[in-house]
Structure 1
Amino acid sequence: MAVYDLERMLEGDRLSRGERRTRPRFFGDDIWKYQIILRHYEYWIGKRGLIASLVRGYWHYRYYKESIRLNFEIPPFVFGAGLSIAHRGPIIVNPSAKIGENCRIHSGVNIGTAAGTQNSAPEIGDNCYIGPGAKLFGPIRISNGVAIAAQAVINKSCERENVTLGGVPAEVISERGASDYIIAGSRIFDQTKEAAKCHRQV
């Protein structure tokens, strides 16, 4: 397993959410808190030893409770850095799905397998937007920068980047991609880190 960069995950998510504060408020910010819990749980899954097992159990408990409370079914290691969950659920994602960095996802979304299979789930590229109520099924691939319109049903791959898919079944309805609907938090984080590194070297 590759080294899990917890800082990049947390900061990428925060920036993609457009959060100016460095930490959630004590009251409120429930979805942001959920994302923080998810990232810590992912981080500790890869650790070994008694202490790690206890810490992992703590984060798993919080992840489980908050998933139920917010009506999210989001397995670990599905979303790349820069996740932005717009609203409380329901959101259902199959564990075999892979969604890239800087995804903005709305409520009512279901990302699942083809009928009769357990792991034939979608692969979605970086910098994508998934609108309310969208449904994606099967071993399909959605390219980078794609916006998926509300209530779209997608069961075929889209190899074109930076377009909008909509309808039932979905098809390209616009040459306008997701860039207006997302904040590329992981890219901002990487650029900031690189700038700081260059500054130290000067």
Structure 2
Amino acid sequence: MIKNIYDLKSYISADFQSSGKRLSLRNCITNPVLRFTLVMRLLEYCLNTRKSIVIYIPLLLWFRRLSYKLGFSLGPNVFGPGVAIIHHGLLIINPATRIGKNCRIHMGVHIGGSGKFVDPSEVDHHCPRIGDNVYIGPGAKIYGPVTIGSNCTIGANSVVNKSFEDPGLLIAGIPARQLVASRRI
């Protein structure tokens, strides 16, 4: 979570580095996904440090406008540092979801809560928790109170509805299961 200006700088630097781009005015103008990531981080900074409403409201409007334009539906403070959203297109993430650092996420991904009606104070317990260095392939769906360990890979079009807490797993299928690579003799 971004708590001060130094956190903001490190998150932005990690995001651009994870995307394989450098922070420059040209990249922010020509790449709408990087512009969205930058605005998202500025909004998180303003929200978490309780900056003036004069600064917060225009950033919120800009964030919502870019979200609508790019097909993203997500809230602030979902991602850790180093997020790489690969393409614009449909991306839906429940605002109560928490995703660790260095996540690489493709278009068509849906990450949502359990689907049952719960008390608003318990929403956090019904949304996914995803570890660090996770790759989420195009079209993957992750639902419910699941936990995904660090360094995992979630295959394209997988439907994850149970937890995979061990690190470094390859998860794929409908419903998702752990895939084991064959050993060569």
TM range (shorter): 0.7 to 0.9
Q: Distance in 1 between matches of 2:26 and 2:132?
A: 25
Tell me how far 1:26 sits from its aligned partner.
Answer: 6.2
Tell me how far 1:27 sits from its aligned partner.
Answer: 4.4
Could you tell me which residue of structure 1 aligns to residue 106 of structure 2? Answer: 106
Tell me how far 1:172 sits from its aligned partner.
Answer: 1.0
Q: Which runs of 5+ in 1 are unaligned?
A: 176-202
- Say which SS state the counterpart of residue 179 (structure 2) adopts: strand
Could you tell me which residue of structure 1 aligns to residue 149 of structure 2? Answer: 143
Preserved CA contact (<8 Å) 2:2 2:8:
no
Could you tell me which residue of structure 2 aligns to residue 17 of structure 1? Answer: 19
Q: 1:132 aligns with which of 122, 133, 138?
A: 138
Q: Distance in 2 between matches of 1:58 and 1:76?
A: 15
Off by >4 Å, runs of 4+ in structure 1: none
> Kindly tell me: are residues 166 and 40 of structure 1, through their superposed partners in 2, closer, same or farther at Cα, counting changes over 3 Å?
same
Q: 1:171 aligns with which of 168, 174, 177?
A: 177
- Say which SS state the counterpart of residue 30 (structure 2) adopts: coil
Could you tell me which residue of structure 1 aligns to residue 48 of structure 2? Answer: 46
Over the aligned positions, Cα root-mean-square deviation in angstroms equals: 1.9
> Kindly tell me: are residues 174 and 32 of structure 1, through their superposed partners in 2, closer, same or farther at Cα, counting changes over 3 Å?
farther
Supply the AA of the counterpart residue of 1:104: R
Q: Distance in 2 between matches of 1:2 and 1:72?
A: 21
> Kindly tell me: are residues 2 and 34 of structure 1, through their superposed partners in 2, closer, same or farther at Cα, counting changes over 3 Å?
closer
Preserved CA contact (<8 Å) 2:108 2:138:
yes
Q: Distance in 1 between matches of 2:28 and 2:178?
A: 43
Supply the AA of the counterpart residue of 1:141: T
Q: TM-score, normalised by structure 1?
A: 0.81
Matches within 5 A, 1:1-202: 3-4=3-4, 5-25=7-27, 27-48=29-50, 52-117=52-117, 119=123, 120-174=126-180
Supply the AA of the counterpart residue of 2:61: Y
Q: Which runs of 5+ in 2 are unaligned?
A: none
Tell me how far 1:56 sits from its aligned partner.
Answer: 0.7
Q: Distance in 1 between matches of 2:78 and 2:46?
A: 15
Bigger mean CA deviation after superposition, 132-141 or 15-24: 15-24
Q: TM-score, normalised by structure 2?
A: 0.88
- Say which SS state the counterpart of residue 111 (structure 2) adopts: strand
Tell me how far 1:109 sits from its aligned partner.
Answer: 0.4
Preserved CA contact (<8 Å) 2:3 2:45:
no
